[in-house]
């Protein structure tokens, strides 16, 4: 259940209220892609790994770095993810994991969890979108299930590499 309507992701801009919380300045330098669900802000930044990619062998690699910031007053726990990957060739793959970055982290109020992962593909680009499955503590001490929106983000091979050099 989403507490607030979905706000579309955007590139290299901070969301409303970004000057609040201890991670606001740190997140603003990231650029990349962001989405907010209630009091949770998810930021994703991607980087092409030229030294690990081999386009002539159809092997493409990226890093993506994710920060999940809890701006709320209650702890939350990330339990897993459901992502959809749409390749530049139109193929769709569903990704379902029972963890987030190898963990099921508990994120205290006014703190964040971050991780870096590698994406390897046989195509030079893709869009990824989805949610993190989470629970958060209520004032009554109960846990409430939520889906936290991950901003849609792209994995792109640098355009310089797409053109023959003469």
For each of the chain's 166 residues, which pLDDT tens digit applies?
333 333 333 333 344 444 444 444 444 344 589 999 999 999 999 999 999 999 999 999 999 999 999 999 999 999 999 999 999 989 999 999 999 989 999 999 999 999 999 999 999 999 999 999 999 988 787 888 999 999 999 999 886 445 554 4
Q: How far is CA 133 from CA 82, 104, 145, in A?
A: 8, 10, 8
Q: How far apart are CA 26 and CA 100, in angstroms?
A: 21
Specify the CATH superfamily of domain 24-157.
ApaG domain (2.60.40.1470)
The pTM of the full predicted model, rounded to 2 decimals, is 0.78
């Amino acid at each position: 259940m989403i507490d607030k309507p979905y706000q579309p992701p955007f590139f290299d801009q901070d969301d409303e209220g970004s000057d609040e919380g201890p991670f606001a300045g740190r997140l603003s330098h990231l650029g990349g892609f962001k989405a907010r669900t209630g009091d949770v802000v998810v930021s994703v930044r991607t980087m092409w790994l030229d030294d690990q990619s081999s386009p002539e062998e159809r092997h493409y690699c990226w890093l993506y770095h994710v920060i999940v910031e809890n701006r709320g007053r209650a702890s939350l726990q990330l339990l897993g993810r459901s992502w959809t990957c749409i390749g530049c060739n139109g193929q769709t793959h569903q990704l379902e994991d029972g963890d987030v970055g190898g963990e099921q982290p508990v994120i205290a109020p006014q703190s964040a969890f971050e991780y870096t992962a590698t994406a390897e593909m046989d195509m030079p680009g893709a869009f990824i979108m989805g949610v993190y499955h989470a629970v958060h503590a209520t004032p009554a001490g109960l846990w409430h299930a939520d889906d936290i929106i991950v901003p849609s983000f792209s994995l792109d091979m640098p355009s310089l590499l797409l053109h023959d050099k003469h």
